[in-house]
Amino acid sequence: MKLSSFGQKFTSQSGILQLMDDLGSALAGDEPVLMLGGGNPAHIAELQTAFRRQVEKILAAPGEFERWVGNYAPPQGSPDLRQALAGLLRQEYGWPVSAENIALTHGSQSAFFLLFNMFAGPYPDGSRKKILLPLAPEYIGYEDVGLTGDFFTANRPQFEFLDEQTFKYHVDFDALSVGDNIGAICVSRPTNPTGNVLTNQELRRLVDLAQAHDIPLIIDNAYGLPFPSIVFTEAEPVWDENVILCMSLSKLGLPSVRTGIVIAPEPVIQAISAMNAITSLAPGGLGAGLVADLIRSGEIIRLSREVIRPYYRRKAEQAAAQLRQELAGLPCYIHKPEGAFFLWLWFKDLPITTLTLYQRLKQRRVLVVPGEYFFPGLPGDWRHKHECIRVSYAQSDPVVQEGLHIIAGEVKRAYDEA
């Protein structure tokens, strides 16, 4: 089969393909797998009850089920959800947004595909631009979404050591350069894979930097505020005339409905709507139908603050405490867990690469994600890339505890073999 350049690029091996293939195989297989690698959210009982109640409400109201599943939405997405969300953002943060500042997509991954290719790649004047990632590691799903090669540029972080086993990344602003070849800046907050939350000062400096260069700052807010609010530190959400804020229903507990949310100036929203129409006619409506009332009533804020955040915070503290105990005495560090539902583990001077560690763990039915995949656009090789793994603690406590115990054992074995 002969493929175009597009076909070859999007069918080649990639980190996100490996991640999703492992996730799907683990969830569909007969043998038990300790799934500490994927981004699947936990099945939290109170949330499941709330979503089930919304489904029952839709089924009970005459014509509602037919409306949500039987009609196309506009290319911009459900007006009900967009109006409800705009109202919530005005009430919570005082942002001057309306439904015209919001578009829906088929999940946030689709949103980033559209946005990145909107601002990076070849331009009509013959120039080429890139997406700047101010701090790597960054999200595995960014790596392969560009339609052309050489799509990203990234910077190494500064390290702050908080104690003998904990560290935190910061943006190295002294090394950050925004040239004419940058089409947009992008950060995730909380950061996937590290659980890092950029400080309010760091975020404000990035907003100002983007504004000074007349380019957008794209903020991946999949785990952030106001929902699902998986943030364990002080953080203020930001929206401005040059900010594009991307959200999702996935980490709220609805990954299968594939609903991404883009909050941006109206010209960007109009462009997203046009691309939605061309690529998929319209975004799906089921996710919007499930959460529109929860957003309108503010119940989504209560669930996020009182159910989701405490749930993951407890699990983060529990997982970090176990690893500190099991890895004591080894040159192993945990990135300070400030949000999302991952631990980022750094095994300094590990004698094997974490890609090899990943393969060893996979043989023992434990799935993690090796760090090599989280550094898109970072020039040159850097040993640190091969010394880190991302571990999810979203699964049940017994699964997480057993998986972490096996990880610690394999890491000890790797150091001992040296």
Task: List the structure tokens of 168.
Answer: 């935190």
Our CA dihedral for 135, 140, 145, 146, rounded to 10 degrees, sits at: 40
Q: Looking at residue 18, what is its pLDDT?
A: 64
- At position 123, the amino acid (one-letter code) is Y
Three-class SS of residue 238? coil
Q: What share of the chain is helix, strand, coil (3-state, %, to 5)?
A: 45, 15, 40
Q: Is 178 helix (H, G, I), strand (E, B) or coil?
A: coil
Stated pTM of the model: 0.93
Position 17 scores a pLDDT of 67
Q: What superfamily does domain 5-47+303-417 belong to in CATH? A: Aspartate Aminotransferase, domain 1 (3.90.1150.10)
Q: Are strands 166-170 and 332-335 parallel, antiparallel or unpaired?
A: parallel
Query: What are the start and end residues of each CATH 3.90.1150.10 domain in the chain?
Result: 5-47+303-417
Instruction: Kindly state the tokens that stand for 161.
Output: 């050591």
Q: How many CA atoms lie within 13 A of 354 on its CB side?
A: 26
Give pLDDT < 50 ranges for the chain: none
H or E segment to which residue 69 belongs: helix 64-70
Domain range 71-298, its CATH number among 3.90.1150.10, 3.40.50.1820, 3.40.640.10, 3.30.360.10: 3.40.640.10
Dihedral angle computed from the Cα positions of residues 269, 271, 275 and 281, in that order, rounded to the nearest 10 degrees = 50
Residues of the chain with CATH 3.40.640.10: 71-298
Task: Collect contacts of 7-10 with beta carbons under 8 A, ≥24 apart.
Answer: 9/144, 9/147, 10/144
Q: What does the alpha-carbon distance between residue 366 and residue 285 come to, in Å, rounded to a whole number? A: 35
